[in-house]
Every structure is written in C-alpha cells, then in structure tokens.
A = this chain, B = another copy of it.
Amino acid sequence: MAILVTGGAGYIGSHTVAELLERGEEVVVIDNLLTGHREALLGGKLYEGDLRDKELLAKLFSENNIEAVIHFAASSLVGESMKDPVKYYDNNVYGTQCLLEAMQKAGVDKIVFSSTAATYGEPEKVPIEETDRTEPANVYGETKLTMERMMSWFDKVLGIKYVALRYFNAAGAHASGKIGEDHRPESHLIPLVLQTALKQRESIAVFGDDYPTEDGTCVRDYIHVSDLADAHVRAVSYLRSGNDSNVFNLGNGLGFSVKQVIETAKKVTGLEIPVVIQERRAGDPAVLVASSAKARSVLGWNPQHADLENIIQSAWNWHSANPQGYGE
C-alpha cells in the first residue's frame, strides 16, 4: 500500500517524501509543479496535476492502493492571500474538498495535513497551546482553519481520521545536500539572510528593533524541515495505530530572534551580512512560539535539529552548493 503526498514536490513535501522513502514506504505524489520542483522529488511516482482536477484524482486513486494521505498542496503566501482571497479559497479549501471527496470514494480514511500556526492569529499567550483561541489574522490562516474544520466534519460524518500539524517556519535542508529550500519569490528569513551572504541581495531588512524582546527584534519559531518531515511520518503511524483525529503544534519551544538568526548566519558562513533596520510592520507580534509538548508526549516527536546553528548550517550547505536553487 502507498502513501499519497499532495504537494510532494514542494519544500516540506519533498523532505517528507525523502523521509518516507528512507523508511521503505511506497510513495505516490500529486503536484502541479507551480511552486514545487520536479528535481526535489528523490523518488516516488509523480502525477503532475492539480487536486481540483477530479478526473486525475480519480485515476490516481484507482491506479494505486492508497493507505493514507499527507496533504501539503496549498497556496501559502500570507501577503498574496490578502490580495487574492479567491485563489486561497480555491486552492486550499476547494482543493481539500476535492481531495476528501476522492478519499471518500476510494475508501481512504487517514489524512495528515500541514496546517499552520497562522490559525491562531495574534496569540493570547506564548508558547501557544493547541487549545488556545484560533482567530486567523489573514486569509491564508483562515483557509487552513477552514480546512481543519472541514476535516473534523468528514471525520464525524464519514469516519475519515485526520491529524492537523500546526507550525510556523520550516527551515534548513536535507542532510544529503540533494534537496533544500527554493521559493520563488523567496519570503522566508533564513534563505533571504543566506542570499545576502552570497551577495545575491544587497542587505537584509529587519522590521523593528524596539520590540519588548531580549534584543529588540521579533522572536520566531524555526523548525528544521527534516524534523517536520519526521512529525508527518509519525502522524501517519499514529493514525495507523487506530488513534482518533488530533491537532498538534510543532515548535522549538524557545524561538530565535531575527538578530540571533543573522548573527548565527554570519558565524556559519563566515561572510558579511549587511542589515538595514526598518519600521515595524503592521500585524507582526513580538513573539510567536508554539508549545510542542503535546506532539512530544503523544507522537513521541523529538526534534533532532532544534539548535539554530544546526538549522542554518544545513540551509547553508544547500544554498552555497546551489546558489540558484533548483535552477531554471
């Protein structure tokens, strides 16, 4: 039996495919390759296309014996979601509806789903726990919360069990050096900082250094992409064991400040990284850190690369060897 990975050619998707292959799982991928990269797939059987293509989905489920689904395929740019809500409802909510419909028809009853800590919005407290208020501050977070709620109804009504994993910032790259992070456009801090070290960018902007944090810059939660991949695979095992649907945060527990990231990148690369301090951006909370106590205790998740230097070193191995990412 195979595991279907939607968005398996994307950043976290491709690392999860790698993890599944290492464990001897049979892997089927569906990816429209609009933001994913064919080169990021280290194996598995690829269906190039979209979740909203119901015929393709039906074909995929009929040609493969799918046991469980890991669902990454989604649009995930916060800024874009606040300009084009239709795109986010269509890709994320309607796409998930099509996927669940195909699962229902094929009798597949397990899905692990990459949600986001953006479902919480402005946090009530840090670290954020799974039972805290969910009040998304952007359309991206809203569509992911809608997907979670939809899954809870497909569970209640049809018995499709799900695990939603909520996290903030994936970072780092695979130990093999073969795959890593390549978003176009890039909006994530660590690749931007490393591109600055590589002189692909003149400087890195820091938005506000007067926050009530130790060094005045925002504190965020970075998780190594291989630790995220491991959590997704653990969540599949959790459902295989007959457990009920559940929601887990994945976080590093402490968080790192923007200055810490830049200082660590300087140390790892040995290169200069010019910084420009700018105004605070609207809607940026001082600290966003998730508690992962529940994932640690229930899934037995124990991040192996929680150290910032370790995360940035692995990202640097990829970026310095692949300054153009996956190329043209």
Contacts and interface: CB of A to CB of B under 8 A. Distances in A.
Interface stretch (A96-104, A237-245, A255-263, A267-275): A96-104
Given A89-B150, A146-B149, A149-B146, A157 B97 contact: no
Contacts of A83: 157
A93 B104 CA distance: 19
Interface residues of A, number: 21
A97 B93 contact: yes
Nearest to A84: B157
A228 to B, nearest CB: 27
Is the contact region of chain A dominated by helix, strand, or loop, or is it mixed? helix
Quickly give the copy total for this chain.
2
Interface string A177-192: 0000000000000000
Interface string A148-186: 011001100110000000000000000000000000000
A285 interface: no
A77 B123 CA distance: 37
Interface in A71-117: 82-83, 85-86, 89-90, 93-94, 97, 100-101, 104
A90 B97 contact: yes
A19 interface: no
A157 B139 contact: yes
Interface of A: 82-83, 85-86, 89-90, 93-94, 97, 100-101, 104, 139, 142, 146, 149-150, 153-154, 157-158
18 contacts: A82-B157, A85-B153, A85-B154, A85-B157, A86-B97, A86-B104, A89-B97, A90-B97, A93-B93, A93-B94, A93-B97, A94-B94, A94-B97, A139-B153, A142-B153, A146-B146, A146-B149, A146-B150
